[in-house]
Structure 1
């Protein structure tokens, strides 16, 4: 957009005789910002258009709206009086609400840093994490999953990439799907070794998850990533918790590779249910560093949890391939 903003700013300055207020320049941007026009086009259809239609004042027609004949055929004087009533209604409401009127559209205090914005958008693959639209088709915002006004923080576990339409539909008022996370975030179960991780070597943490070393490591630096809330398996987690755990996986992987250059691979695994080998009934992800030569035959990786299933081929094919 800078390629558009720069000439628009120069044009506004030229039209102002060499000077223009920041607000005037911003207004010139708004006139050409298709993303904002699209946003407010949706607002027109979903909010005032729908309400005025229900009151019998307007009707949908093609890609727009038309006044009903009873209003359209008013005299010029009557139309002027009606316009004045509209202006008065807007002015009265703006006086009543003051700065709160557009508070939900203002930039919240403590802006997300440019680095965090970049990482959030990169993590999302430059697509909206709700509808999937790519950044080159619709402007992406960095949104607080749990809004600041509801206690959400600025850590990356609480940030997501949303297109302007999905973000606008969600709004700062909406904490749907995340309220349960907040109210149960402190849920702990007595006797659970992962709810009470005191004494363990804490490696990393964020608002919804922690990472610490496994007490019985399969390989050196074997780490567990665990949600703070007591949840039985991965399938009992909320999406923000899964996101928080993924962030810790990335962070811990980078730390392990930095601390031990001999690490050349990883196994990432979860045991969900007793029959799958789960022994601690608190969801957790194993991050197991691997090194060249740490086992004689690494082929198949996690398939090896079932004896004899590491190979992708039946035993007869393996025999022939070894001939």
Structure 2
């Protein structure tokens, strides 16, 4: 990556949910392009005085993953390396200033709310205990299932402190800031069993039975080759939870499926250069053609000449409506 590419990323492509990305890039620039996770975490601490291990986790799971995806950094030996070569001192200074501007813009926009969720948690829950709670929840909200890299997680007292609740792991649960804000201080609902919902399977379901044959998966979804492929590399993306309809999935499950859909599409495209397009479809309900009532998304590669006239694509589920002017 060259100077101009990084500059363009900072100015126009950086989509911020927090100040983490510009702080991380700035820290790498200030340290000749190489900084340990701890060093980056300490940079976050300059903005929010909190426990160091929390920000080490943040570094790896949030801006680290995003910046790796964009090719901005690499990770090895517990350190991140900036993928920009041959920077002059002037260019380095300019990029650092751009990061400072991004940080200031976001802080001005959000004000004290930037660190509100952390200020509340750090006052009540020690860092080591907080990490245990988040780790046990696999860094997902125990109510809605959203991941920590999508939305900041709070450590919530199940029985509120003002009702005598203690700061012990048995009385703590991981909630995203949205779910936690909707839970009143007088509400002592324990949402931890809700995460078991994501492990619900039907022993009679064909897809539930063969989850172990999946060749790629994440925490909430998995991938199978279609047993009766329409075209070569026809693939299915499914939620791990047994659920009939796409519309019954949680937002986290939908996101998990779509992430796999994108990943598999890229891998299939690289493997088979004859692919020129894809059909993506869901048969949702008996009258829509669903025969196995475990939600699944079809990813069907298309190639030039595989049908005489591809116009209309999925509109041909009702043949006489396929072609249109």
TM value normalised by structure 2 = 0.52
Rounded Cα–Cα distance in structure 2 between residues aligned with 1:278 and 1:135: 49
User: Does residue 127 of structure 2 align to residue 171 of structure 1?
Assistant: no
The whole-number CA distance in structure 2 between the counterparts of 1:118 and 1:278 is 39
Secondary structure of the equivalent of 1:138? helix
Q: 1:112, CA displacement in angstroms?
A: 1.6
- Alignment of 1:186 with 2:199, yes or no, is yes
Structure 2 matches for 1:1-323, cutoff 5 A?
30=47, 102-103=50-51, 106-109=54-57, 111-112=59-60, 115-118=64-67, 138=106, 148-153=134-139, 158-162=147-151, 167=152, 171-173=154-156, 174-175=175-176, 176=179, 182-197=195-210, 200=213, 202-313=214-325
1:272-293 per-position Cα deviation (integer Å, ceiling 9, x unaligned) = 1101111000000000000011
Q: Which residue of 1 aligns with 2:99?
A: none
Of the two structures, which has the highest relative contact order with CA contacts closer than 8 Å and spacing of 6 or more? 2
Q: Deviations over 1:20-43 (max 9, x none)?
A: xx9xx979965xxxxx7xxxxxxx
Compared CA separation, residues 136 and 307, structure 1 to 2 (3 A): farther
Residues 1:179 and 1:290: Cα distance change in structure 2 (over 3 Å): farther
Structure-1 residue corresponding to 2:6 = none
Counterpart Cα distance in 2 of 1:206 and 1:181: 19
Per the TM alignment, residue 117 of structure 1 is displaced from its structure 2 partner at its CA by: 2.4
Secondary structure at the aligned position of 1:158 is classed as coil
SS in 2 for 1:171: strand
Query: CA contact under 8 A between 1:203 and 1:252: conserved in structure 2?
Result: no
Q: Give structure 2 stretches of 5+ with no counterpart.
A: 1-21, 31-38, 72-101, 118-130, 141-145, 157-174, 181-190
Q: Does the CA contact (< 8 Å) of 1:187 and 1:230 recur in 2?
A: yes
Aligned length: 205
Query: C-alpha separation between the residues in 2 aligned to 1:119 and 1:28?
Result: 22
Could you report, residue by residue, the CA deviation over 1:13-64 in whole angstroms, capped at 9, with x for unpaired residues?
A: xxxxxxxxx9xx979965xxxxx7xxxxxxxxxxxxxxxxxxxxxxxxxxxx
Max Rg structure: 1
What stretches of structure 1 of length at least 5 have no aligned partner?
10-21, 31-35, 37-100, 123-133, 314-323
Q: How far apart in 2 are the matches of 1:27 and 1:260?
A: 43
Give the superposition deviation at 1:204: 1.1
TM-score (norm 1): 0.52
> In structure 2, the residue corresponding to 1:245 is in which secondary structure?
helix
Instruction: Decide whether aligned partners of structure 1 residues 26 and 220 sit closer, same or farther in structure 2, where only a CA change above 3 A counts.
Output: closer
CA pair 135-120 structure 1, distance change in 2 beyond 3 A: farther
Q: CA RMSD in A?
A: 4.3
- SS of the residue 1:272 aligns to: coil
3-state SS, counterpart of residue 258 of structure 2 = helix
- Is this contact kept in 1: 2:44–2:55, CA < 8 A? no
Distance in 1 (alpha carbons) for counterparts of 2:104 and 2:263: 29
Q: Deviation of residue 259 (structure 1)?
A: 1.3
Partner of 2:91: none
